[in-house]
Amino acid sequence: MTVTPSDSELLARAARGDHEAFTEVMRLHEDRVFSVCLRIMGDRERALDAVQDTFLTVFRKSRQFKGRSAVGTWIYRIAVNTCYDQLRKAKRRPSEPLPDYHDPADEMAQDEVDAAGVRPDIEAALARIPQEFRAAVVLADMEGMPLPEIAEVLGVPVGTVKSRVYRARRLLAGLLGNQNT
């Protein structure tokens, strides 16, 4: 029987230079990191850049992981901060408009809801709300993270997460024309 090493064991091995261990950490977390980045960034190419930057940071800072949270929580915090940084930089330079098409449905998705991806109207509405609200609602409603974990990822108290998720939902409801929620 093969024993699967934990995330923290893999990250510790990666910090010591084990590239296979780092590859496994990436494999375990890349889909969810991409999902978070895509929904925060609102653009596939920019999300892919954010994912790449996230894992470069994880690799560079793997020795700094103290184990005060789950490895996944630490990685998602890096991902959210990377997205925030890239969005701030994008505000300083002209941006390109989003293409008129969207990526095809994910054929590897587990069910029809996953396969449909985020509807274009929801993507557009997410892009219009403040980034701190966007991150909170993406992690809560689209990634299904519990509030305490979101608080760790965002580096804010749980009450702040609750407030941001509530406010994001209200803003999204208004933007999507659903004022009864």
Joined together, the tokens standing for residue 41 give 């960034």
Residue 124 pLDDT: 84
What's the confidence (pLDDT) of residue 111? 46
Distance CA 82, CA 69 (A): 19
Per the CB < 8 A criterion, the answer to whether 136 and 154 are in contact is: yes
Provide the token pair at 24. Answer: 């496994």
181: number of CA atoms within 13 Å, CB side? 13
The number of beta carbons lying within 10 Å of the beta carbon of residue 48 is: 14
Is-contact 25 11, C-beta < 8 A?
Answer: yes
pLDDT of residue 96: 54
Residue 34 in any domain: the answer is: yes
Residue 97 in tokens: 């408009």
pLDDT of residue 1: 58
The pTM (predicted TM-score) of the whole model is 0.68
pLDDT per 10-residue tile (average), the chain, 181 residues: 78 91 93 92 91 94 90 94 89 56 47 52 86 90 90 91 92 79 47
Chain-centroid distance of CA 77 in Å reads 8
114 and 81, same structural domain?
Answer: no
Last residue of a domain, one of 96, 122, 145: 96
Q: Is residue 102 part of a domain?
A: no
Q: For the CA atoms of the chain, what is the radius of gyration? A: 17
Instruction: Examine the domain organization and report whether 5 and 76 are in the same domain.
Output: yes
CATH number at residue 18: 1.10.1740.10
Structural domain that includes position 33: 1-96
- Give me the sign of the Cα torsion angle 109, 112, 114, 118: positive
Q: Which of 82, 91, 76 is nearest to 36 (CA)?
A: 76
Per-residue confidence (pLDDT) for residue 127, from 0 to 100: 85
137 and 86 belong to one structural domain = no
- The domain total for the chain is 2
**95 Cβ partners below 8 Å, 6+ apart?**
none
Q: Are residues 131 and 89 part of one domain? A: no
Q: How many residues does the structure list for the chain?
A: 181
pLDDT of residue 178: 72
- Is 170 contained in some domain? yes
Q: What is the reported pLDDT for 4?
A: 73
Q: Is residue 104 part of a domain?
A: no
Single-letter code of the amino acid located at 96: E
Work out the number of other CB atoms within 10 angstroms of the CB of residue 161. 26
Please count the CA atoms within 13 angstroms of the CA of 121 that sit on its side-chain side. Answer: 7
